[in-house]
Amino acid sequence: MPFAAGRALAAEPEKLRIGFQKSSTLTIFLKSRGTLEKALAPLKAEVQWHEFTSGLPLLEALNIGAVDLSADVADAVPPFALAAGAKLTYYAIETPSPQAQAIVVRKDSAITSVAQLKGQKVAFAKGAGAHYLILEALAQSGLTIKDIEPAYLSPADGRAAFEGGNVAAWVIWDPFLAAVQRQSGARILIDGGKLSSYRRFYLAATPYAQRRTDVLGVVYAELQRAGEWIKKNPGPAAEWHAPVIGLDAATVEAANLRRSYRVQPVDAEALAEQQRIADAFTQAQILPKRVSVADSPVWRPA
């Protein structure tokens, strides 16, 4: 493309559609302050926001071109999308936060070990980080997913089933984990610990990532700054975030303490763990075919 034509094209405003969830703390922080709108104005990128209930629908929207960038999704989500043929580009990670997800039981439950979940109904969101956590926890206890009765439920439905006594355990992440601990006295059976690193991944539609590396650079830098601010200001961060997601500030602060919020480039270690997660799902016959994570592009900051 001639340089003059490229400049004329760049001068035309272009929509940047960002998908997020209620647990997408850093992205919601930027949204609430209008940070990206200001930072991206010189690049002629107009931000639009789209909320999703969970990570899989978000990445499905990314794949079909309904959104351009995703806020963070749990480490188990991308392999599901890749197995469905999604063309995604990894552009950032949050470093591990293993204690930010856990298997919980009710405070009066007689269950004290993962092995006692055999034959029990366990709630978790399909394709979420919680899905991988339950696989690994079961394997450590000599069990497989076939030894329990999975109840694939969204966080809201999972909590209702858990508190209503319709499931024996719930596998969930923050801030929902902190909320059920503080409000219902839920007891942690086991957390991520040595089972799952629980990195949060940020992804882009590959055509957009290839076309607008300048936009990715700005978004990445602002995510880094947001993460640094939240970790340095836990009280004010919780006061800001609580009304946004409908929780009390103390619960939000408890959740934030377990999240690293450290945004970094996607590295070889993170991709290797993505492959291990994908292979675990394939071995458990949850994914229909083997996924090659190495086939997906990776954007890295200059």
What is 98-191's CATH number? 3.40.190.10
Residue type, 23: S
Question: Per residue in 232-291, pLDDT tens?
Answer: 999 999 999 899 888 999 999 999 999 999 999 999 999 999 999 999 999 988 898 899
| Residue range 147-161: mean pLDDT, rounded | 96
Domain ranges of the chain: 3-97+199-295, 98-191
Question: Per residue in 1-27, pLDDT tens?
Answer: 343 444 444 467 899 999 998 889 999
Give the length of the chain. Answer: 302
Q: Which two tokens stand for residue 184?
A: 């219902």
pTM of the model as a whole: 0.87
Same CATH topology for 3-97+199-295 and 98-191? yes
At residue 159 the predicted structure's pLDDT band, cuts being 50, 70 and 90, is very high
pLDDT at residue number 7: 44
pLDDT > 70: percent of the chain: 96
Contact residues for 78 (Cβ-Cβ < 8 A; gap 6+): 59, 88, 90, 201, 203, 274, 293, 296
Domain covering 3-97+199-295, topology: D-Maltodextrin-Binding Protein; domain 2 (3.40.190)
pLDDT > 90: percent of the chain: 85
Question: Per residue in 198-236, pLDDT tens?
Answer: 999 999 999 999 999 999 999 999 999 999 999 999 999
| Residue range 64-78: mean pLDDT, rounded | 94
pLDDT at residue number 127: 82
Burial letters for 257-272: b for 16+ Cβ neighbours within 10 Å, e otherwise?
ebbbbebbebeeebbe
